[in-house]
Structure 1
Amino acid sequence: MQKLIWGLAAATMMLAAPAHAVEVGKTMETEAEPAAVWAAVGDFCGIGEWHPAVTRCEQSEEGGKTRRTLTLGDGATLVEELVSRDDAAMTYTYRIIEGPLPVENYKSTITVTAAGKGSTISWNGTFDAKGATDAEAGEVVGGIYDAGLQGIAEKAGM
């Protein structure tokens, strides 16, 4: 009987364990100075200037929070909200409010740091897959980050 109770307790604990969020992180080294890279990426709505998938960015305020609505090449839109920003540390964090991506509870940070005479650009996110496997959602987000990092490097004069 005691084995049965311990078995049920263990099974209950496994079912109650929180799901682990998917984590995706990409970095790129550039020869551009950090200030030049931050000038390209630091403007929250500047993503329309450097990400190839974004055709338009409209910034707004809602409930005291800064939001951006991104229009993609296929006409789909994403609404993202700025969570935090630190110009001195050259970093900002945002979350997706709504959009067509196979994710929910998405939160992401872009950071620029000095690396020798150049810079490192890091883009890291966590999320739960929605309507896709973790691997599929991770591939989608990873592709977005890769294209964006390349766009930032080009905008910064690489």
Structure 2
Amino acid sequence: MKSVMSGLMLLALCSGSGIASAADVEESVILNSSVSSVWKLVGNFNGINQWHPAVRESEQDGDVRLLTLRDGGHIREVQLAHDDEHHLYRYRMDQSPLPVAGYEAEIRLETVANNKTRMIWKSHFEAVGVPEAEAEQTIRTVYRTGMDNLARRFNH
């Protein structure tokens, strides 16, 4: 019991000390198109600039992509897995102006009905330099911006 109480006290002390805490974000959107049609656009790891309005340019060398953002920022990401059969890829972000560290994400597509696809974009990371809620909102905004653009494209 004493060790449990000590652990709880340590947790309470650390929670307000600025130590990074883990966060999870998941967003999804329904698109009025087949999984294969959406995957042709979204499944290209180097093609995010074709559907995400914040990305001006994407360059890929092996499993590494370098993104140039419209605001001039740069992001370096590494593809960890790519599965065309299951319509998903996973990646980690190594360098970014975003307030996160240890960021790993997955983009996955699922058939919902004939010519309807659910896109799921989820991640796990630690907030850095800002409260966890602020980092989560930043990542949600990134996801929603891309998904809203896809919805305009496929749900016209």
TM-score range relative to shorter protein: 0.7 to 0.9
Counterpart of 2:84 (choices 59, 79, 87) is: 87
Counterpart in 1 of 2:136? 138
Shift of 1:122: 0.4
**Structure 1 residues without counterparts, runs of 5 or longer:** none
What is the number of residues matched between the two proteins? Answer: 148
Could you tell me whether the CA contact under 8 Å between 1:36 and 1:156 is conserved in 2? Answer: no
Counterpart of 1:105 (choices 102, 106, 109) is: 102
Instruction: Give the 5 Å matches for 1:59-78.
Output: 59-61=60-62, 66-78=63-75
Residue type matched to 2:72 in 1? G
The secondary structure found in structure 2 opposite 1:24 is strand
TM-superposition CA deviations, 1:25-66 (whole Å, max 9, x none)? 0000111111111011000011011101000001013xxxx0
Q: Which moved more, 1:145-154 or 1:102-111?
A: 145-154
Please report the TM-score for the alignment, with normalisation by the length of structure 1: 0.86
Residue type matched to 1:112 in 2? L
Structure 1 stretches (4+) deviating beyond 3 angstroms?
153-158
With over 3 angstroms needed to count, the CA separation of the structure-2 counterparts of 1:40 and 1:153, relative to structure 1, is: farther
Counterpart in 1 of 2:119? 121
Give the Cα–Cα distance (whole angstroms) in 2 for the partners of residues 101 and 115 of structure 1: 32
Could you tell me whether the CA contact under 8 Å between 1:90 and 1:113 is conserved in 2? Answer: yes
Counterpart of 1:13 (choices 7, 17, 40) is: 7
The secondary structure found in structure 2 opposite 1:149 is helix
Shift of 1:11: 4.5
Give the Cα–Cα distance (whole angstroms) in 2 for the partners of residues 12 and 97 of structure 1: 35
Could you tell me whether the CA contact under 8 Å between 1:109 and 1:124 is conserved in 2? Answer: yes
Shift of 1:135: 0.3
Give the Cα–Cα distance (whole angstroms) in 2 for the partners of residues 90 and 121 of structure 1: 10
TM-superposition CA deviations, 1:80-99 (whole Å, max 9, x none)? 00011110000000000111
Could you tell me whether the CA contact under 8 Å between 2:31 and 2:150 is conserved in 1? Answer: no
**Structure 2 residues without counterparts, runs of 5 or longer:** 15-19
Please report the TM-score for the alignment, with normalisation by the length of structure 2: 0.87
Counterpart in 2 of 1:29? 30
The secondary structure found in structure 1 opposite 2:140 is helix
